[in-house]
Amino acid sequence: MDKYAVIGHPIEHSKSPLIHSEFARLTGQPLEYHAILAPKAGFADAVKQFRQAGGKGANVTLPFKEEALALCDELSERARRAGAVNTLIWNDDERLLGDNTDGLGLVSDLKRHAYPLRDARILLLGAGGVARGVLLPLLSERPKRLVVANRTAHKAERLAADFSSFGPVTGVGLENLDGTFDLVINGTSASLSGKLPDLHRVKLAEDGCAYDMAYGDSLTPFQCWALENGARHALSGLGMLVGQAAESFALWRGVHPPIEPILELLQGEVE
């Protein structure tokens, strides 16, 4: 039976084994998937040992996504631009391929909610690795404009400059942020500590949407802000989690698994 895994530190919280096991059951794919706790200084060895044990592919989570990039023999354009890899694939000649499906997971979840991205005015909060990983897929949907906002303005400006050839993207410091947006995406870590980014001069367009890449047992402060400001949807990152996993599964197996049954299962656990 083909072997797959998720590698991270810590890893006990990961929902990937449940998600991929359900994908395999629903699609009839013969595989096993488990979690691997790698020492913080031992990621490369963990990957090597997994491959020697028959591993065919792996997901990579924090804090190893950048290190995974350096291990790969080939990279997708998404992974190269993101500067991080979350999906590893060994091909027939033992070359290690790296991809990044995080942005695809975000876009697929927005599309699942029938939210139009083409010609949309998009605000992306944060300029770290999470934001970098979703920029190319978002710009590929041809928004009207995309603004990256960060507490440190030069980080947002530099990130926007890195992707300027792919679409209309600009960077700005949070203190200078204002305007009306059709879609606001929170790619900061604020929700993890129960905080809200500075949005006092930001407005959601009528019928606008907000998306928090984080998720938890209840609404995040960002989702609450969105609902208080008239958002049509105030979505959490749970759909993105399942969506990026589905893209990884499709890269490995050539079959795109159904997402809805897994979301229902996970939402039931959260509730």
User: What pLDDT, in 10s, does the model give residues 79-100?
Assistant: 999 999 999 999 988 999 999 9
> Are 2 and 53 spatial neighbours (Cβ–Cβ below 8 Å)?
no
Between these two residues, 270 and 230, which has the higher pLDDT value? 230
Q: With b meaning 16 or more CB within 10 Å and e meaning fewer, what string describes 128-143?
A: ebbbbbbbbbbbebeb
Whether residue 189 is predicted with pLDDT greater than 80 in this model: the reply is yes
> 14 and 134 share a domain?
no
CATH assignment at residue 250 = 3.40.50.10860
Whether residue 18 is predicted with pLDDT greater than 60 in this model: the reply is yes
Please check if 240 is assigned to a binding site. Answer: no
Please check if 127 is assigned to a binding site. Answer: yes
Between these two residues, 68 and 62, which has the higher pLDDT value? 68
Please check if 191 is assigned to a binding site. Answer: no
CATH assignment at residue 194 = 3.40.50.720
Q: Cα angle vertex 57, ends 27, 257, to 5°?
A: 20
Whether residue 269 is predicted with pLDDT greater than 90 in this model: the reply is no
> 142 and 201 share a domain?
yes
Please check if 45 is assigned to a binding site. Answer: no
Q: Which residues are catalytic?
A: 65
pLDDT computed for residue 137 by the predictor: 96
> 149 and 113 share a domain?
yes
Please check if 98 is assigned to a binding site. Answer: no
pLDDT computed for residue 268 by the predictor: 72
> 110 and 221 share a domain?
yes
The overall average pLDDT reported for the chain is 94
> 228 and 252 share a domain?
no
Between these two residues, 130 and 85, which has the higher pLDDT value? 85
> 83 and 125 share a domain?
no
Whether residue 21 is predicted with pLDDT greater than 50 in this model: the reply is yes
> 90 and 8 share a domain?
yes
> 60 and 93 share a domain?
yes
Taking only the tens place, the pLDDT of each residue in 232-243 is 999 999 999 999
Whether residue 254 is predicted with pLDDT greater than 90 in this model: the reply is yes
- The number of angstroms, rounded, from the C-alpha of 147 to the middle of its chain's C-alpha atoms is 18
pLDDT computed for residue 209 by the predictor: 96
> 39 and 8 share a domain?
yes
In this structure, is the dihedral angle defined by the CA atoms of residues 20, 25, 29 and 34, taken in order, positive or negative? positive
Instruction: Write out the residue range of the structural domain in which residue 188 sits.
Output: 103-236
Please check if 193 is assigned to a binding site. Answer: no
How large is the angle between the packed helices 153-162 and 129-140, nearest 10 degrees? 40
Q: How many structural domains are present in the chain? A: 2
- Encoded tokens for 15: 């929902």
> 95 and 110 share a domain?
no
> 134 and 200 share a domain?
yes
H/E segment holding residue 89: strand 87-90
> 192 and 151 share a domain?
yes
